[in-house]
Amino acid sequence: MQKLFDEVATLDTRCYEEFFLSEDILMEHAAEGMASFIKEKFQKGSKIIVVVGSGNNGADGIALARLLHGDFDVALLHAKEPKSPMALLQKKRADALGVPTLTQLEACDVLVEAIVGTGFSGSFDEKIASLIGQMNNSNTYKIACDMP
């Protein structure tokens, strides 16, 4: 699995350095791809909760919620408050559109996990471990943004 994560990091670097694509452009494309999948698979108005972390994977999730807002009953749940520059930017964009934020997990049609991505190493703190446990125990449809 580490080889796969290393390859993803290498591809990201190539996109930035060789093709002059910004992090923002890549993030918008990733979010649009996920949004297209969700729009094809689920009816408009379905309740979707996007659980996000503090880094760029969380930023991907926030961008996704922003793109789904209006067609779906979408809300964000911050496992950790945004810290990375891209997460802060995406949160500002989502807030400007009025994407709601929850304080706890609720019943929904779709759960999107965007807590950690391919750059994650280490272990989860108790709050995140509990939240992931709740998500795993839910019978709702689940989608992971990135690999873990």
- The two tokens of residue 109 are 């049609």
Contact 94, 69 (CB under 8 A): yes
Contact 24, 84 (CB under 8 A): no
Bridge partners (DSSP) listed for residue 47: 73
Look at residue 2 in the predicted model and tell me its pLDDT: 45
Q: Helix H segments across 1-141?
A: 2-17, 23-41, 56-68, 85-97, 126-137
Q: What global pTM score does this model have?
A: 0.86
Look at residue 106 in the predicted model and tell me its pLDDT: 95
Residue type, 117: G
Higher pLDDT, 90 or 17: 90
- Give how far Cα 1 sits from Cα of 60, 91, 119, Å: 21, 30, 12
Higher pLDDT, 78 or 116: 78
Contact 143, 38 (CB under 8 A): yes
Residue 11 scores a pLDDT above 70: no
Look at residue 102 in the predicted model and tell me its pLDDT: 98
pLDDT tens digit sequence for 69-105: 999 999 999 999 999 999 999 999 999 999 999 999 9
Q: How far is residue 120's CA from residue 107's CA, in Å, rounded to a whole number? A: 27
- Mean pLDDT computed over every residue of the chain: 87
Eight-class DSSP state of 122: S
Residue 21 scores a pLDDT above 80: no
Residue 15 scores a pLDDT above 60: no
Look at residue 5 in the predicted model and tell me its pLDDT: 47
Higher pLDDT, 4 or 81: 81
User: What is 2-144's CATH number, 3.40.50.720, 3.30.499.10, 3.40.50.10260, 3.90.1300.10?
Assistant: 3.40.50.10260
Percent with pLDDT over 70 in the chain: 82
